Structure 1
Amino acid sequence: MKRIIIKEEYCIGCRLCEIHCLVQHSKSKEIIKAYKGEYPKPLPRILVEEKSHLSFALQCRHCEDAPCLEACMSGAMHRDKDTKAVLCDEDKCIGCWMCLMVCPFGVIKRDATGKKIASKCDLCFGAEKPVCVVNCPNEAIVFEEVKEPLPSAEAVKPKLLTDKLLKIKDKSEYLIIGNSAAAVRAVEAIRENDKNGSILLVSDETHHAYSRPMISYLLGGKVKDSQMYYRTKGSPNDFYETNSVETILGRKVIKIDTQNKNVVLEDKQKIQFEKLLITTGCKPIVPEIKGKGLHGIFTVTAWDDAVKIKKYIDENKVKKAVIIGGGLIGLKATESLLALNEKGQDIKITIIELADRILSATFDKKASGIIEDALRKNGCAILTKSTVEKIAGTKAIKEVVLKTKKKIQADMLIFAIGVSPDISLAKEAIGIKTNRGIVVDDHMQTSIPGIYSAGDCCEAKDMLLNISRPIAIWPNATKQGELAGSNMSGVEKSYKGSFAMNSVELCGIPTVSAGITDPPKEKGYEIMEFEPPETEDKAEHKPVIYKKLVLKNNVIIGMIFVGDIARAGIYTGLIRDKVNVADIKENLLKEDFGLISLPKEYRKHMVSGSGIEV
């Protein structure tokens, strides 16, 4: 694989690379038209950073272990099989911005066209050399073969095991329960190491592998059914076929026999295994409330949930919806209904939240307030410090009664209080240790040798809190699945831990949060905040921007960005690597903060082997 190499000592900061990159990715491919005749103006995929006498160009490293690939929930980020470049499929990108949040180089941008797609270097796909390389006058940017190229697509593609696959439904070397992010990534990791071992995947859902975080986008009509499938290019089944995976879909595992190394399905069929991976995910929390069994009451954590909700709205002409829960699940459900309103529905939405504000587990009061204001401007009613006493109706829901006796008319209700790890199978199995989630070691192995767990159902190391706990987010599930698959297939890898982080756009406002965002008021925490000054021109419309960093002992342990999330991945990288930022603290929230602002030794560590020579 060829990679762009940046030589800092030769860079003179002329920015010709930016100019030619912008023109290359414009519609006209002409410099005057690109700069003066196209709106919105195209973005360069390369960025020149300058500080004092230093300057260097920065673009996507096309990392071998690319975090954007792990974080992408739609499958838009992918590696080209021929060039090995990491590319973004614009037709699949939904603008969730998780890639932007996890890129430690801060080189993925929000596209300026309003299409809500990620913008990044594509190595001028199809050209002999990238234009930045061709037009650098001082040869500070070169295009060279890396010393240790990635394995070719053919090298990792397994042969189809046609005869063997017919015989493995009662026995499999690798048995996987579940069919989402962790399971899919585990399959890929197993196949990287074991081309011929039999893999059997069992799921109680009938759908092929799909992206759960996109359920709200499906409900809101922002994506089609075909876009829901994960790791597919044509048929929904091609992921399994490519990786020689046998599947049993629509049938539930009801028991794990750890002593005899088999599982029992709901129809009493037994399947033997050599290695087992449990990726049962989460289940929605539904409180014990009188009337919860009435028609018109839903959760929204599965594909079928979105289908049922949309059908109910259409068939019953829903005009009033209540959402119980003001966290991320509840607000993504709210976004879905608002999107339906934009398409012609007229649904009045009421959000009921037990806490004193929405997003209390993710944001601080200021950030929550920004989103609350935006939701209210979009016609949503928000009731905080509120508890539902009962749901009233005959066959279908008619109203929600609060403990204050306040009544809210409703044609539909969505429970969005949260989720809990689905550990029922493991809890009933002999010898598998469980707590809030399935307990695993650094190799994602449970207390029973040969049985592993990954994803939302397990609890693993939180590197900030120094405890094991479930962190139910997509990037964690994919990473844990990868490590579980590697260890199951004989390649030892250890999980370094993770921390909570979320990226979501609400009412057109992009937001990210990571780590400890609202710490208790005690000695040792330092808070840094930024809000742009108010303009004197009241008629001038400016986006709401709020940034906050939480530090302890000069190390960033948390962040909230609202409105402007550019280069957020640099900050999550600083959190992950526990970098002492004492010497750069005053620059952390400046507009020009970038990789060049980081401590020199850390910058060297960051880019070592990744293309920049410093």
Structure 2
Amino acid sequence: MRVVIVGNGPASASAIEAFRQVDQDSEIIVLSDEPYPTYAPNCMENVIRGDISESALFYKGGFEFYERYKVDFRPNKEVVGIDNKRKVVIVKGGEEIPYDKCLLAAGASAFIPPIPGRELGGVTTAKNLDDAKRIRDLVLSGKVKRVVIVGAGPIGVEDAETLRSMGLEVAVVEFFDRVLPRMLDKYMAHRYMEVLQREEGIEFYLNHQVVAIHGEDGWVEAVEIVQNGSDRKKFLRADLVILSTGVRPRTHLVANTDIKLHIDEVRGRVVGGILVDEYQRTSDPDVYAAGDICSGIDAWGRQRWIALFPPAQQGGAVAGYNMAGLKVKHSGLVDYNAVKTRSVPAGSGGLFEDAEESLVFEYEEYLIKVFLKEGEVYGYQFVGRPTKRRLNQANPFLKGLDAKAFLNNRGLGLEASGVLFHHFIKQKDRTFSSEVIEVIKRGMLRSLGNPKFELPLFHRE
């Protein structure tokens, strides 16, 4: 059997590992439009800062990963589509690669809004490794003093703090009324943002949109913004503009096929990626999809598009097992996430926009908000408040680490989010009680850096 995987991110790598646990002999071909081996897509701000090792960035072991798993890795091969009737993948230039099973794991591409001036030099996205390297080179060149970031999602906020820490003036323009609009409600987002303003000196322009980018001699000089509902314009000086305005799934790969997309039946428009079932199968049983390119079934049984690292790994593993002949069902997607800003962590999981009620409580340096619907936990959010902290040297995850470097680059946000996720979402009983509150207070920072060390919040008696 020949398996062709389109894409080389977390979903692809997890699929390879799962597939090889079952099938050691079938041919696997991986096609990537980039020259690099699998890398950590959530560490691009580390690349900009220059504080990540090669082994951490290429977290699967670099090119040796493909040798170990007997994979025919073909970099710099941009796939432009598939023909599922003839069972071939089509590469730019016309090459066709036949498959028996195909996994579409090409992820999502940065959305570039049609802003006049977006083609100027110094205007870039911050989605992939080439973007991060480009931004770092510009900063190190000394030509950049002032940065404007368009979009206050996780990437935009992380890049804002990163570039501010590198000595640049940073302004962030956000269309909505808060930062991290898909992660935090207004109350929590404000408490997160005020720390970045006070501690980091980042400027935020909420409820604003960019109407034009201006430059001279082909290079950006200013960003023209206007407040929503107003015609009053403001010009922000900029030597570098980063467009962090979201991503779009690469559904163009199935544009000329009968493979179904995630469509809102009421409004009659596409609202997500390639549609997959609980086995990561598309509407074609020989074509699977995983990661940011697809819409899967969430923990509440609804079809959703969630473009995040952990769900991509999970979906990739399910697809890998099933392409190898097993019958493994996905346990349900949840969008738990955290921002890796060093001055203050924040994270969330599940849903909150149509929750029926919420509970807020404080513990040490954390503000925690849990959202309820029909008496069960529906989602959660947390925001940290910076305080001085002392490392617990007994923690096994700290052995061999430089304490100062750990404090300056802590990733506690994702760990805390992971603990809450594992309790609230993976447990069938998601009721919220005083006992649960106490356990969260005692255990929410338990490290989830390695799945082998995951511990339940409760012991079963």
TM-score scaled by length of structure 2 = 0.83
Confirm whether residue 408 of structure 1 aligns to residue 230 of structure 2: no
Per-residue deviation, residues 351-370 of structure 1 (Å, max 9, x unmatched): 00011111121112232112
Cα deviation per residue 1:174-224 (whole Å; 9 max; x = unaligned)? 100000100001111111111111111000000011111111111122213
| CA distance in 1 between partners of 2:240 and 2:48 (Å) | 14
Kept after mapping to 2: 8 A contact 1:391/1:397: yes
Flag the 1:568–1:398 CA change in 2: closer, same or farther, 3 A.
closer
Change (3 A) 1:244 1:372: same
Deviates more, 1:567-576 or 1:206-215: 567-576
Letter in 1 for 2:358: I
Cα distance change on mapping 1:580 and 1:302 into 2, 3 Å? closer
- What is the rounded CA distance, in whole Å, between the counterparts of 1:591 and 1:579 in structure 2? 15
What amino acid does structure 1 have at the position aligned with 2:4?
A: L
| Selected match of 1:444 from 280, 295, 298 | 280
Q: Distance in 2 between matches of 1:592 and 1:415?
A: 37
CA–CA separation in structure 2 for the residues paired with 1:580 and 1:299: 39
| Counterpart selection for 2:261 from 430, 434, 449 | 434
* Deviations, residues 128-150 of structure 1 (Å, cap 9, x unaligned): xxxxxxxxxxxxxxxxxxxxxxx
Contact between 2:358 and 2:369, CA under 8 Å: does it hold in 1?
A: yes
Map of 2:451 onto structure 1: none
The question of whether the paired residues in 1 share the 8 Å contact of 2:107 and 2:249 is answered with yes
Partner of 1:586: 434
Distance across 2 between alignment mates of 1:587 and 1:253? 52
2:207 is aligned with 1:385:
yes
Q: 1:398 aligned to 2:221?
A: yes
Name the SS of the counterpart of 1:437 in structure 2. strand
Structure 2's unaligned 5+ residue stretches are: 227-231, 263-271, 386-412, 444-453
Structure 1 CA distance, aligned partners of 2:416 and 2:90? 48
Out of 523, 526, 530, the residue aligned to residue 361 of structure 2 is: 530
Q: Which of 265, 274, 277 is 2:91 aligned to? A: 265
CA contact (8 A) 1:556 1:578 kept: no
Q: Which residue of 2 aligns with 1:513?
A: 348
Are 1:427 and 1:434, in contact at CA under 8 Å, matched by a contact in 2?
A: no
8 Å CA contact 1:186–1:486 kept in 2: the answer is: yes
Aligned pair in 2 of structure 1 residues 612, 558: CA closer, same or farther (>3 Å)?
closer
Describe the SS at the equivalent of 2:213: strand
Aligned to 1:195: 24
Which stretch shifts more, 173-182 or 218-227? 218-227
Change (3 A) 1:509 1:607: closer
DSSP 3-state at the match of 1:354: coil
Give deviations 1:339-361, integer Å, cap 9, x for gaps: 3x2xxxx3100000011111121
For the structure 1 residues 262 and 591, does the alpha-carbon distance in structure 2 shift closer, same or farther, using more than 3 Å as the test?
Answer: closer
> Does structure 1 conserve the Cα–Cα contact (< 8 Å) formed by 2:149 and 2:244?
yes
Q: What is the DSSP-based 3-state SS (H/G/I as helix, E as strand, rest coil) of the residue aligned with 2:426?
A: helix
Could you give the per-residue CA deviations for residues 491-537 of structure 1, whole angstroms, max 9, x where no partner exists?
Answer: 111112112111223242222211123446xxxx22111136xxxxx
Deviation by residue 1:463-486 (Cα, 9 ceiling, x = unmatched): 23x421211111111111111111
Kindly provide the CA deviation profile for residues 147-167 of structure 1, in whole angstroms up to 9, marking residues without a partner as x: xxxxxxxxxxxxxxxxxxxxx
What residue number does 1:253 align with?
A: 79
Partner of 2:125: 299
Cα deviation, residue 591, structure 1: 6.8
SS in 2 for 1:310: helix
Query: Is 1:556–1:579's contact at 8 Å kept on the other side of the alignment?
Result: no
Determine if contact 2:177/2:186 at 8 Å carries over to the other structure. no
What residue ranges of structure 1 are gaps of 5+ in the alignment?
1-171, 533-542, 596-605
Q: Which amino acid aligns with 2:84?
A: T
Which residues of 2 match residues 419-568 of structure 1 at below 5 A?
419-428=247-256, 430-435=257-262, 436-464=272-300, 466-519=301-354, 525-531=356-362, 544-563=365-384
Partner of 1:574: 424
Q: How far is 1:289 from its partner? A: 0.6
Matches within 5 A, 1:94-173: 173=2
The aligned runs of 1:73-112 (5 Å cut-off) are none
Q: Secondary structure at the match of 2:112?
A: coil
Correspondence for 1:364 = 185
CA distance in structure 1 between the aligned counterparts of 2:458 and 2:148, rounded to whole angstroms? 51
Partners in 2 of 1:222 and 1:400 — Cα distance? Answer: 30
- Taking the aligned partners of 1:454 and 1:529, their CA distance within structure 2 comes to 35
Residue deviations 1:298-327, cap 9 Å, x none?
A: 101110001111112223520000000011
Residues 17, 317 of structure 2: 8 Å contact kept: yes
Cα distance change on mapping 1:568 and 1:352 into 2, 3 Å: closer
Q: Which residue identity lines up with residue 267 of structure 1 in the other structure?
A: G
Question: Would the alpha carbon gap of residues 306 and 468 (structure 1) be closer, same or farther in structure 2, given more than 3 Å must change?
Answer: same
Structure number, greater radius of gyration: 1
TM-score (norm: length of structure 1): 0.63
Q: Which amino acid aligns with 1:579?
A: D
1:373 equivalent to 2:194? Answer yes
Alignment correspondent of 2:388: none
Describe the SS at the equivalent of 1:509: coil
Distance 1:592 1:358 in 2: 25
Shift of 1:426: 1.4
Q: Following the alignment from structure 1 to structure 2, what is the Cα–Cα distance between the partners of residues 611 and 283? A: 40
Helix, strand or coil at the partner of 1:528: strand
Amino acid at match of 2:52: V
Counterpart-to-counterpart distance in 2, 1:226 and 1:607: 27
Q: Does 1:239 align with 2:65?
A: yes
Pick aligned residue for 2:3 from 171, 174, 180: 174
Partner in structure 1 of residue 15 of structure 2: 186
